[in-house]
Amino acid sequence: MAEQFYINDEISPLKSVILGRADSLGPVPTAEQCYDPKSREHVLAGTYPKEADMIKEMSAFEQVLKKHGVKVYRPDLLENVNQIFTRDIGFVIEDRFIKSNILPDREAEFQAIESILSQFDQNKIIQPPEEVHVEGGDVMPWGDYIFVGTYRRPDYPEYITARTNAAAVEFLQEINPNKKVIGFDLRKSNTDPRENALHLDCVFQPIGKGKAIIHKDGFLDENQYQFLVDLFGKENLFHINKDEMYDMYANVFSISPDVVVSEQQNKRLNDWLRQQGFTVEEVPYREIAKQEGLLRCSTLPLQRVK
């Protein structure tokens, strides 16, 4: 019998996940080939991360996941392709897997997880229409809600950093009529990583115990930011500044309501998490962070406990 997908939030105990891989990334990209301003910054500075360092970081993350009893899948190896950020290529909402319509250059990354998805119910895999642009980093199931990071201004086509459009918000509402799909317009920049919210999970992340991490300046509409403040309660939010957003503080990953994986150098956050009663699993991920992605970005959860 085929495995069944199930994800309804960001924190229920994790059963299985696809973790990206960092081997055989190919040559360092040129500045023009970069999809985001932070990668571009490191290419120009000569500090772009080394493959060996990123393999070590992902291995440390995998060990933490396995320690907590999570089944960890890895994509098939593609030669000379960056396969770290599996979150971009698809996402699960309840019992359905939705394939992302991503940058065309990245289609091969999806093919590399097809052997994993073949173990699941094929009738539950959805391909959105062509006009729907969406990446998993912008989509957060949260019980009765689906939070979606988007960019809905007329200059959308000018931003390589704008990955999820208004059509995606409408599509997700259409196929999830029993949920409230809430779109959040995010600040975008092709050139300044401190002014660019690449995905929603770079500026906002709900965790267990009714808490969340948030970066106010990442939202273009203060009312949308205020909606989250009202929903979670200001006292339950950990506010991060531009430098902390740049260091990917918001991009933690919850294994369960009590266990959060976080980058080991993000000290202010990790201290706060412990004060709130979380078990914090610290891993080295600073090299991977140079590509404007961190722990949530490199995971694609397939099953959490119902």
What is the rounded CA–CA span in Å between residue 233 and residue 250? 17
Q: Positive or negative, the Cα torsion across 292, 95, 109, 79?
A: positive
Indicate the pLDDT class of residue 156, thresholds 50, 70 and 90. confident
Query: What was the pLDDT predicted at 154?
Result: 87
Query: What was the pLDDT predicted at 224?
Result: 98
As a CATH number, domain 45-304 is 3.75.10.10
pLDDT at 105 over 80: no
Q: Mean pLDDT, to the nearest integer, of 79-102?
A: 94
pLDDT digits (tens, 9 = 90+) for 187-239: 999 889 899 988 999 999 999 999 999 999 999 999 999 999 999 999 999 99
pLDDT at 61 over 80: yes
pLDDT at 102 over 80: no
Q: What is the mean pLDDT of the chain?
A: 95
Q: Mean pLDDT, to the nearest integer, of 90-109?
A: 90
pLDDT digits (tens, 9 = 90+) for 232-287: 999 999 999 999 999 999 999 999 999 999 999 999 999 999 999 999 999 999 99
> pTM of the predicted model, to two decimals?
0.95
Query: What was the pLDDT predicted at 88?
Result: 92
pLDDT at 44 over 80: yes
Query: What was the pLDDT predicted at 190?
Result: 85
What is the rounded CA–CA span in Å between residue 6 and residue 121? 11
* DSSP-assigned beta bridge partners for residue 176: none
Indicate the pLDDT class of residue 302, thresholds 50, 70 and 90. very high
pLDDT at 142 over 90: yes
What does the domain layout of the chain look like in residue ranges?
A: 45-304
